[in-house]
Structure 1
Amino acid sequence: MDMLNGIHAISRSAANRYGRILRRSAQDAVSASELNDAIRGAQLWRDQHITPTQNCFRAVLDECTDSFPQPVCTYRLKRLVSIIRKLQRTRTHLHLGELDDIGGCRLIVDTIEEAREIWVKLRERLDIKSSKGEKNYIAQPNVSGYRSHHLLTKNVVNNQSYYVEVQIRTKLQHFWSTAVEAVGEIYGMEYKSPEVRAHISGEDSERIEFFRIVSSLFALEEDSALVPGREGSYADLCSRLRSLSCSQRLIKDLESSTDDVCKVNAEVAEGDTFFLLSFSREEQILNVMSFPDWDIDEALNAYSNLEEDSTVLQMHGGLNSEMDMDTNGVLVHAQDFTQISIAYPNYSANMREFVDRAKDYLRMEI
């Protein structure tokens, strides 16, 4: 058995075994000791993605920071609670060892042209998993309206291969995606989930249609492919948006969420380019620490420490809804402090850009 970060590493097959126990625990009777072992196994498998994801993050930074004027790059590991809930989705047969988004990097650029350019650079530098390791949702948008370019990279550490997902998107695409998440929190519905979208109706269905149409309008602005089934001219799409009975209320609720007060505790030094964001939903506090460009190791260590503290709280709380109240963290590389709102506008309640554009499309004062 290999060692990773000073501890024994588990194999992909062992991770799959733990994943099967976690999936069964949602429906079948699983003993407390068996469940605890499976949770710890899943956490260990997640921890083994730290080094591969850091390697990928460094490579992405190396390729983009000198090539683009205002890139924003983020690094994160999928939360343990999110991993477990993904495994426990009904009508799915996901395997823990095969999940390809435990480790993730995201690059946010200004234009479609920049997204295409960095995609070419990263494809040449990174080891792509296979012929299926690339999904271009910009050239072929998802029916949900989601647009981004995904690269599934393979990183080998101690003879074990790990998958790290790299997402490349424009600011408009990112504003759309985070607005979907924000609306999901407002109405208590995970609209980005394919399973949820397949079984909703009524006003929830109209909200999804709202975002599909707005995505096509954004695509028109970027001169790129429109969402399947939501093609048309600017005037036609705006008319379809206005015809939805949910539009006015949805915009009002989104606008109200941007006015929510979120206390910010920031320890930021001038000239720093790494920012560690930790957001507490329960306390509505955003904590920010900054690090200079040359101290990426310290920034990564600080993120790892934050994740370790958060994981202890999750595992202590067990598998229940309270696990969602943990601290949610992300490491951001940006040109300055003001750009962190671009990386996570739902953290800083800064979705004004999305709201203003949607109001223009609706051509109404709300």
Structure 2
Amino acid sequence: MIYSKKQISKAGKVLLTSKSQEDINIALDIINTWRTSHLHPLRVMKNALLRILLNSSINPILVSQRLKRLSSIEYKLDLNENMGLGGMQDIGGYRVVLKDLKDLIKLQKTLEKPNRRHKLERVVDYVQTPKKSGYRSIHFIYRYSSKVEKHDGLKLELQVRTKLQHNWATAVETAGIFTKTSLKSSQGPDDWLEFFQVVSSLFAIKEELPKLEIHADKNMEELMVYCYNLCNKLNILTTLKALRVSTNKIETDNFPGEYYILNINIKEMKVQILIYDKKEYERATREYLRLEKSITEGENAVVLVLASSIKSLKKAYPSYFLDTSEFIQALEKINRNCETLKLVK
């Protein structure tokens, strides 16, 4: 790594505690340089994953990559006082979404085999043992090995989840933007947290996975009624349907690029997309940091992602477009079944 773990952690501490703008700017430059160094390893690891999927005859719904947002870094550090930035494992993150649990288990078994080059440091299974919020995914944390100093030793996190689990996570992130809270970290209005916990357990029943512990004594019909009532109380469907950002009809493959910066204006429901080719990664990361310094939390959000086209970008990161279409469809089906089975009046 170009900076030691201690240097990175010190920069993270300055970012959170310093009152000197000059010191903060120096810390931001260090953090951004270190964050940018994850881009090449991410590309290498994603390509390796694609080969594994092909050799395993698994057809993914999507594979995506991203660099962690500065606001997310600050939030995570603030939430975990004893965590140093140098030890954060998901600065560089990539994700694969699979059709169903069968494909997920098949890939999990393959990935858990020893990696001949990059060390698999840890596996966290939130599918069988979900978070309190209802979040489900399997996290694989790798330590990247390279002869290039700035890349050697970097940690990367791979998230593996099913399409249904991805739809849930997308809706949670979108609702979190709307409520201006971190619902995915179990922070926010109790009713909204309850709603997503109930849906998580309903989705778990569909995938034949364990329900959340708090729903251990409830059957599917009881959970459906619970979901139906919260849906109406919070006006969930109307709210989520209204939260869809305009992309100015650019959902085509006519915008080739490698790096995309999404600058989301939550108040105006618009997103500005900046496109950079493979050779422009330094310019892209500089602009990313500049925009991050200028945003107002709760009103704007900005993220740098890697994708092959605008179309694939929106498919991979629907929450950044506040698009929860597939989650809404699942919710409407639950509510229709409640009415058809006359579980509610």
Q: Same fold (TM over 0.5)?
A: yes
The TM-score range, normalised by the shorter chain, is 0.7 to 0.9
Per the TM alignment, residue 314 of structure 1 is displaced from its structure 2 partner at its CA by 3.0
CA contact (8 A) 2:262 2:272 kept: yes
Per the TM alignment, residue 117 of structure 1 is displaced from its structure 2 partner at its CA by 1.4
Are residues 1:183 and 2:175 paired? Answer: yes
Per the TM alignment, residue 44 of structure 1 is displaced from its structure 2 partner at its CA by 2.2
- 1:312 pairs with 290, 294, 312, which one? 290
Q: How is 1:1-366 mapped onto 2 (pairs within 5 angstroms)?
A: 9-25=2-18, 30-65=19-54, 67-89=57-79, 92-124=81-113, 126=115, 127-130=118-121, 133-157=122-146, 158=148, 160-194=152-186, 196=187, 200=188, 204-231=189-216, 232-244=218-230, 247-258=233-244, 260-265=245-250, 268=253, 277-282=260-265, 284-285=270-271, 287=273, 300-301=278-279, 305-315=283-293, 317=294, 321=296, 325=300, 327-332=302-307, 340-363=313-336
Distance change in 2, residues 1:288/1:233 (3 Å): farther
Query: What does the per-residue CA deviation read over 1:127-165, in whole Å, with 9 as the maximum and x for residues that have no partner?
Result: 4443xx111111111121000011011102345411100
CA contact (8 A) 1:179 1:346 kept: yes
Distance change in 2, residues 1:342/1:269 (3 Å): closer
What is the TM-score of this pair, normalised by structure 1? 0.78
- Give the aligned residue type for 2:183: Y
- Give the aligned residue type for 2:36: D
Q: Which residue of 2 aligns with 1:292?
A: none
CA contact (8 A) 1:277 1:287 kept: yes
- Give the aligned residue type for 1:108: V
Per the TM alignment, residue 35 of structure 1 is displaced from its structure 2 partner at its CA by 2.2
Aligned residues: 328
- Give the aligned residue type for 2:206: E
- Give the aligned residue type for 2:202: L
Distance 1:353 1:245 in 2: 16
Distance change in 2, residues 1:338/1:81 (3 Å): closer
Percent identity for Structure 1 against Structure 2: 25
Partner SS for 1:179: helix
Query: What does the per-residue CA deviation read over 1:48-89, in whole Å, with 9 as the maximum and x for residues that have no partner?
Result: 322322222221122124522343100111123332343234
Q: Which runs of 5+ in 1 are unaligned?
A: 3-8, 290-297
Distance change in 2, residues 1:353/1:32 (3 Å): closer
The alignment yields a C-alpha RMSD, in angstroms, of 3.1
